[in-house]
Amino acid sequence: MQSRFRSDRRLTVRMGLTLFLLGLLYVAFVAALIVLLKSWVLVVVIAAGVLIAQYWFSDRIALFAMHGRVVEPEEFPQLHAVVDRLCAMADMPKPTVAVSSMDMPNAFATGRNPDNAVVCVTTGLLRRLEPAELEGVLAHELSHVAHKDVAVITVASFLGVLAGLVVRFAFYSELLGGRGRKDQNTLAVFAVVMGVSAAVYAISFLLIRALSRYRELAADRAAALLTGRPSALASALTKVTGDIARIPSEDLRTAQAFNAFYFTPALGSDPGVARLFSTHPSLEQRLAQLGRISAELGEAAAPGKAG
């Protein structure tokens, strides 16, 4: 079913191109591992297991890692009311609604398709945002579900996870099983496996970052157009980004593994080089786009629409 979120052809093209390139990389990676490790059964079992886990259980993994739980309308009536209203406006199925007990203000969406999606907000976000701001954030997350880029980013990230697992497996098997019987051939295979895995991880990392930054701009744009209040979304972005920057870095470490799924990345007060490889565009870019949309909609002149 097609939702009323405005479609984004450039996002669709980017998702298709990213999956195609990662698919080629995946085939080459698996073929190289089969040749090097001389055990196609082991390689296929590991690859299939990780892909299935990523695709089918990504929502449960994310909720568990972020201390989230599914909540009923009786527990959070206002949150459910906003989601219900937005889903009706967008003509899309209502996702499962969850709340994380984390004080870090943020939200994320995950799931393999619109019928099996989860939208989760933290208690820190609920405590800090005004109703119009919360609506903008939830519209942003729902647009990820409607555009199906949540599923794409989940599948895309699988290759990097697989490469990381292979590096660990090769390292520990060499460390534990190779003592006393190492030879030049074994060391050469070990070095090549590590090198190939590192290269695959680096390439997939860059491809995912490029797609992720664009999809965040697409979600901002779609949310602003659906709600008609880009200034409310801009206000939420400014508030959340500023509050996250004040949270101690040690409290953000667990959350940073899921940055690609968040409304805004969990970066500390001094992100440094991390911002160059961020999954999200800069706050300035996002606010500039929302400012242009606001001008196009004539929001500033419309009473009652300020965030």
What's the per-residue H, E or C state across 125-171?
HHHHCCHHHHHHHHHHHHHHHHHCHHHHHHHHHHHHHHHHHHHHHHH
At 277, is the pLDDT very low, low, confident or very high (cuts 50, 70, 90)? confident
* pLDDT tens-digit map of 180-218: 455 666 677 667 767 777 777 788 788 888 888 999 999
How far is residue 120's CA from residue 262's CA, in Å, rounded to a whole number? 10
pLDDT over 80 at 279, yes or no: yes
Of 226, 241, 67, the closest CA to residue 135 belongs to 226
Mean pLDDT for 124-146 is 95
Query: What's the pLDDT at 66?
Result: 79
Residue 47 pLDDT exceeds 80: no
Alpha carbon separation from 273 to 22, 32, 108, 215, 270 (Å, rounded):
25, 32, 24, 21, 9
CA 293: distance to chain centroid? 24
Q: What is the pLDDT of residue 303?
A: 42
Higher pLDDT pick, 78 / 304: 78
Cβ(119)–Cβ(144) under 8 Å? Answer: no
| pLDDT at site 302 | 45
More confident residue, 196 or 301: 196
- The pLDDT value given to residue 43: 72
- Phi then psi dihedrals of residue 38, to 5 deg: 55, 35
Quote the tokens at residue 89: 């406006």
9 confidence band (pLDDT: 50, 70, 90): confident
pLDDT at 304 over 60: no
Token readout for 272 is 């440094």
pLDDT above 90 (res 248)? no
> Is the per-residue pLDDT at 249 higher than 70?
no
pLDDT at position 48 over 80: no
110, pLDDT greater than 90: no
pLDDT of 301 reads: 43
Radius of gyration of the chain measured on its C-alpha atoms:
21
Contact criterion met (CB below 8 Å) for 277 and 207? no
Q: What integer pLDDT is reported at residue 26 of this predicted model?
A: 76
Name the band, by pLDDT with cuts 50, 70 and 90, for residue 270: low
| Active site amino acids | 141
Res 156: pLDDT: 72
Residue 44 or residue 297, greater confidence:
297
Residues within the annotated binding site?
140, 144, 216
Residues 22-29 have a mean pLDDT of 78
State pLDDT tens for residues 215-229.
999 999 999 999 999
Q: Where are the beta strands (DSSP E) in the chain?
A: 68-70, 96-100, 107-111, 117-122
**Cβ density class 234-253: b for 16+ within 10 Å, e for less:** bbbbbbbbebbeebeeeebe
C-alpha distances (whole Å) from 217 to each of 211, 242, 279 are 10, 19, 11
pLDDT at 160: 63
Q: What is the mean pLDDT of the chain?
A: 81
Backbone angles phi, psi at 107, to 5 degrees: -155, 155
What is the DSSP secondary structure assignment for residue 81, as one 8-state letter? Answer: H
Question: Annotated binding site for Zn(2+), which residues?
Answer: 140, 144, 216
The answer to whether residue 272 scores a pLDDT higher than 60 is no
Confidence of residue 233 (pLDDT cuts 50, 70, 90): very high
